[in-house]
Amino acid sequence: MRRPAASLLPFRIFALLLLSAALARAEIEFRGVLTALDKTLFGLADTAAPDAPEWVTTGETFAGWIVGDYNATAQTLQLTKDGVNLTVHLKDTGGTTPRFLQGQAGFKIGNRTVEQPVAMDFDQTTVLALGDGQSGKVLPHKLPDGNISYQVTVETTTPATGNRTTTHILQSGVTAEPGIPFTILTANFSFSFTPKAAPAAAH
């Protein structure tokens, strides 16, 4: 005998409630690390609203969680909320790193801002002319977990002597997922990069 459809209604409602709860449950993703001259920033995002990450530093809050210690070796970040401790790991992209990077790079030095589209090869330095004897250099590197590290410097050449002075904007670099935009500020410089998906490789 077939069970009447009405008798399945409570079960269906319960299943839908469980599904809704699962979909609504948000998790915090640890998407990147920015290490500048004076601070380290962590890119955190909410899986319920998968936008670009919010960059926060130790002692600041994200979604009510207080940012604590960062373990660079284990690539873990400690968060605390209402007496609850949470350890989040830097997200592994599964090795899905693009063959090369395309996007919009920008340097700001004092009141001067230089922005231009770039196509960067991994482990090759891309140079942007900034004017007044200065150039910005970006060196991207693929990591085994699929993330990307960036080294960013500004080089200044004195016309009279030809001497060069190098300033590391990002002392230890940036580690971020492919496709994640970021901006880092220091006392004298800033650098931003907004990547876009690279074209698919020809077969």
Rounded CA gap, 162 and 108, in Å? 23
- Position 191 scores a pLDDT of 87
Task: Provide the b/e sequence for 4-25 (b: ≥16 CB within 10 Å).
Answer: eeeeeeeeeeeeeeeeeeeeee
What own/partner pairs with CB < 8 Å and gap ≥ 24 does 6-13 have?
none
At residue 202 the predicted structure's pLDDT band, cuts being 50, 70 and 90, is very low
The phi and psi torsions of 46 (rounded to 5 degrees) equal -105, 125
Chain mean pLDDT for the chain: 75
Rounded CA gap, 129 and 120, in Å? 15
Report the range of poorest mean pLDDT among 9-13, 50-54, 65-69.
Answer: 9-13
**24 Cβ neighbours under 8 A, 6+ residues apart:** 48
- Position 75 scores a pLDDT of 84
- Position 26 scores a pLDDT of 58
| Residue percentage of the chain with pLDDT more than 70 | 71
Tens digits of per-residue pLDDT, 11-39? 444 434 343 333 334 588 888 887 655 67
- Position 198 scores a pLDDT of 45
Alpha helices in 3-72 (DSSP H): 9-24
The residue with greater pLDDT, 95 or 126, is 126
- For the residues 106-125, what does the mean pLDDT come to? 87
At residue 77 the predicted structure's pLDDT band, cuts being 50, 70 and 90, is very high
- For the residues 94-108, what does the mean pLDDT come to? 77
Tens digits of per-residue pLDDT, 139-197? 888 888 778 888 888 888 877 776 777 776 665 567 777 777 888 777 678 888 888 75
**81 Cβ neighbours under 8 A, 6+ residues apart:** 64, 65, 66
| Residue appearing with tokens 């993330």 | 147
- Position 87 scores a pLDDT of 92
Ordered by start, the domain boundaries in the chain are 28-89, 101-196
The phi and psi torsions of 23 (rounded to 5 degrees) equal -70, -35
The residue with greater pLDDT, 67 or 53, is 67
SS3 state at 22? helix
CB burial class (10 A; 0-12, 13-18, 19+) of residue 1? exposed
- The sign one gets for the Cα dihedral 72, 75, 80, 86 is negative
- Position 168 scores a pLDDT of 65
CB burial class (10 A; 0-12, 13-18, 19+) of residue 85? exposed
The phi and psi torsions of 101 (rounded to 5 degrees) equal -110, 130
pLDDT of 203 strictly over 50: no
